[in-house]
Amino acid sequence: MHRRKFIGAGSALVALSLMTPTASRAAQNPGRETIKTRETANPTLQIKDIVIGAGQPKVIVSTTSENAQQTLQYIDSIADRNDFNVLELRIDALENGTNATATAKLTQQISSRLGNKLLLVTFRTSAEGGKKTISDREYAALYRTLLEQGEFDLLDIEMFRDKALTTPLITLAHKKGRYVILSSHELHSTPSAQIIVSRLREQQARGADILKFAAMPQGPADVLTLLNATLEMHQRYAQRPLLTMSMGETGVLSRMSGELTGSALTFGMIGDASASGQVAAEDLHNVLGVVHKGMAS
């Protein structure tokens, strides 16, 4: 699709997202409040010089390489680019990703190459769309070693791993000066807005620094459900930055509309995609800039 047409279509769908049944009822009943907004400022999180939750959404790109050498070569080739802010090391993609000592060393090597960009470490389990199956005990043990020996800024913890094992990880991460993303992924469908908001609120209550939810849409209505749930969470409950997305090609607009709905981060790709629906980081960065300029005018 031509870029101008793509942006135009995006703007139309964002506008449509505000006319869900709830919004439509409000239009029929002027003066009736449908979402009670918070009286506090938008939640932000500053790590280094990067302020998550202020301005346009920050862009994350993920590694997909299978070994350390390829990963470092990839990072060397992109580290100076200005179209992303956070590098996600997908350790589940690595052949020896469960070797905690080797992976901790890799995080040190990557951090030294990123300059002011942030490093996010993620082991995405197969249950939530990742490359490998791992027990909850192995998952927690791997993360404990990484927190003790590694060098990174953010750690993604899946909220449905055993709480008895992951709650101490959140505590340890904060003790080590790291920030936690609690995440939830629905790979085959999109739940109701009520469920989405409930999960994000649970993540917040459990001490997450960034709240993440991703779901696969079955059609455009599911994308609108995700966008409206994000907006409701942002306006009513959020005390932490949000990271939400509707996956696949149908959900691509959700990766670009965060400044409207309150999603403070988004995923792009440089090279191979780590998940369906990702677009090139350069294009994503440009579209986010257009949206930001338009909303600021």
Residues catalogued as catalytic: 185, 212
* CA separation for the pair 113, 156 (Å, rounded): 21
* CA separation for the pair 92, 82 (Å, rounded): 26
* CA separation for the pair 122, 154 (Å, rounded): 9
Contacts of 173 (CB under 8 A, 6+ apart): 147, 155, 179, 180
